[in-house]
Structure formats: structure tokens, C-alpha cells
């Protein structure tokens, strides 16, 4: 055993283990814990070939433009996903 192994073992024993916060310390939310919010990047766009992209100027859009874009993207994304799923089953 080398001296670096002894040093690493000593450091591992000296430092307390990292723990999770108590359930009472975690803010309550309806969202699952494994969700990472990327709202500032804008919605995901499903391309016709199945790739995914984003709207590059999402941050610069007004609120009404965002609402209209979301409404249109939801319809288009659903149609494209349906077509892609149908193509997989054939």
C-alpha cells in the first residue's frame, strides 16, 4: 500500500458523509423531484425527421407571441410524433 492510499483513506474517514436534507427541509412542490426546469430556453420542437430543436429567440418574444407559438407547436409536435410513431409500426 502506498502513502497516497493511506492519505486517501484518512481523508475519507475524517470527512463526514454527505447526507440528503430532511424531508421537512425540502420545499413542497407538486412537481417530481427529478425535473430540471429549462423554461427560459423555450419549448422543444419536434422536427419531421424526429430530431429536437428550440426557438432561438424565445427570450426576446413577447408574452402573446409565446402563447401563440406554444399553441401552434403543441399541435404540430403532436402531429409529427403521431406520424413518427405510425412510421415505426410499419
For residue range 52-76, what is the model confidence (pLDDT) as tens digits?
Answer: 999 889 989 999 999 999 999 999 9
How many domains does the chain contain in total? 1
Residue 71, domain extent: 3-89
- pTM beyond cutoff 0.75: no
| Sequence-ordered strand ranges (E) for 1-90 | 44-46, 52-54
Amino acid at each position: 500500500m502506498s502513502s497516497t492510499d493511506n492519505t486517501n483513506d484518512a481523508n475519507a474517514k475524517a470527512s463526514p458523509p454527505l447526507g440528503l436534507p430532511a424531508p421537512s427541509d425540502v420545499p413542497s412542490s407538486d412537481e417530481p423531484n427529478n425535473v430540471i426546469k429549462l423554461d427560459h430556453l423555450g419549448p422543444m420542437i419536434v422536427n419531421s425527421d424526429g430530431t429536437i430543436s428550440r426557438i432561438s429567440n424565445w427570450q426576446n418574444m413577447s408574452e402573446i407571441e409565446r402563447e401563440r407559438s406554444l399553441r401552434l407547436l403543441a399541435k404540430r409536435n403532436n402531429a409529427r410524433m403521431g406520424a413518427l410513431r405510425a412510421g415505426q409500426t410499419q
